[in-house]
Amino acid sequence: LAFHSDVARYRAAVTVVEVIQRSTDFLARKGVASPRLNVELLMAHVLGMPRLQLYLNFDRLLQEKELTAARDLIRQRGNRTPLQHLVGSTSFCGWDLRVGPDVLIPRPETEQLVERALEFLQRRTGRGERPWTVLDFGTGSGCIAVALAKGSSATRVVGCDVAAAALRVAAGNVAAHGLTDRVSLVLSDKFSALQPGERFDLIVSNPPYIPTPLIAQLDPEVRDHDPRLALDGGTDGLAFYRVLAADAPAFLRSEGRMLLELGDGQAGEVRAVLEGQKWVVEAEDADYSGRIRFLRARHQSLLPAGARESRSSES
Ligand SMILES: C[S@@+](CC[C@H](N)C(=O)[O-])C[C@H]1O[C@@H](n2cnc3c(N)ncnc32)[C@H](O)[C@@H]1O
């Protein structure tokens, strides 16, 4: 009997590299982008090792429970559950963050938004005065708030969001990075629960910007797994840019700026929305694929009087 069960175990035994190869083919058939990378990251998660260490373990036989766990994750990934939900975390600006179905998975473009915000803050904090303050409007996982507070020790951040479940995730990330003294979180529908009279040096936002009718056409990972609240920018995708254009000036200090991430192809429309509310667009920047995705603006009411007059006489 012992002999037979040994033989059965031997026949069932598979190595790490075999599972990687079969699973890669499976995910490719299911239409998952970068299938091999996905499989390697899931295998590394199951085996509790960094991905590159898999290469030193290719011939290792998987234990039954490891195989079961790997199969389960690969099956879910094949059903287009996002990789980050399966492993429970993601990397953002080099920081490890917990994520899940209650928050938008932070995107690489947003790391570029953070870079621009940090450049702005570095110019300010170089003046060496009071703590500088940022509002992260629609904080979600807290990725922007955490990365800004980590990247600029003289900065305090308020992250606001209408989703209580998202704020719980953000709170976990803020605490895990030891930032509870400099990052606070506010449950707020748009600006409604912010302290009246509170003013920030910078308002940064990656707001929901997908036009409602286009949500159905998104990849399943996004359409079925990112919270709809994090995607839906109203009929034309511009609803939150209108809110920010109208309401943000009351929450900015003089010299304050607003820095926004935009959907691909929205730059002209967002600029028009802002200019219609007396914002001066100072910078439009492209992402790595050359598309305008970031916009920095200041409000005319916050310009020094002389500059305000010359601006209005220009227009
Ligand atoms: C595109 S996600 C951005 C999340 C995160 N800042 C990031 O960059 O990954 C937009 C966020 O706005 C939040 N949001 C949606 N409607 C809102 C509202 N009315 N007031 C405040 N936040 C809102 C969503 O819950 C979501 O977390």
pLDDT at 130: 75
What percent of the chain has pLDDT above 70?
A: 91
pLDDT tens-place string over residues 139-182: 999 999 999 999 999 999 999 999 999 999 999 999 999 999 99
Beta carbon of 189 within 6 Å of any ligand 1 atom: yes
Intra-chain end-to-end CA distance of the chain, in Å: 91
Q: Which atom of ligand 1 is nearest to the CA of 138?
A: 12
Q: How far is the CA of 137 from the centre of ligand 1 (A)?
A: 7
Q: How far is the CA of 153 from the centre of ligand 1 (A)?
A: 24
Q: Which atom of ligand 1 is nearest to the CA of 110?
A: 8
Q: Is the pLDDT of residue 33 over 80?
A: yes
Q: How far is the CA of 280 from the centre of ligand 1 (A)?
A: 24
Average pLDDT over residues 2-24: 73
Q: Which atom of ligand 1 is nearest to the CA of 163?
A: 25
Beta carbon of 106 within 6 Å of any ligand 1 atom: yes
Beta carbon of 138 within 6 Å of any ligand 1 atom: yes
Query: Rounded to whole angstroms, how far apart are CA atoms 90 and 98?
Result: 7
Angle, vertex CA 116, rays to CA 115 and CA 122, nearest 5: 85
pLDDT at 125: 73
pLDDT at 131: 83
Bridge partners of residue 135, in order along the sequence: 158, 203
pLDDT at 308: 57
Average pLDDT of every residue of the chain: 93
Q: Is the pLDDT of residue 1 over 60?
A: no
Query: Rounded to whole angstroms, how far apart are CA atoms 142 and 176?
Result: 11
pLDDT at 303: 78
pLDDT tens-place string over residues 36-47: 999 999 999 999
Query: Rounded to whole angstroms, how far apart are CA atoms 122 and 128?
Result: 10
As given in the structure block, the two tokens for residue 304 are 């020094």
Question: For residue 232, which phi and psi values (nearest 5 degrees)?
Answer: -75, 110
Beta carbon of 165 within 6 Å of any ligand 1 atom: no
Query: Rounded to whole angstroms, how far apart are CA atoms 186 and 191?
Result: 10
pLDDT bracket for residue 305 (50, 70, 90): low
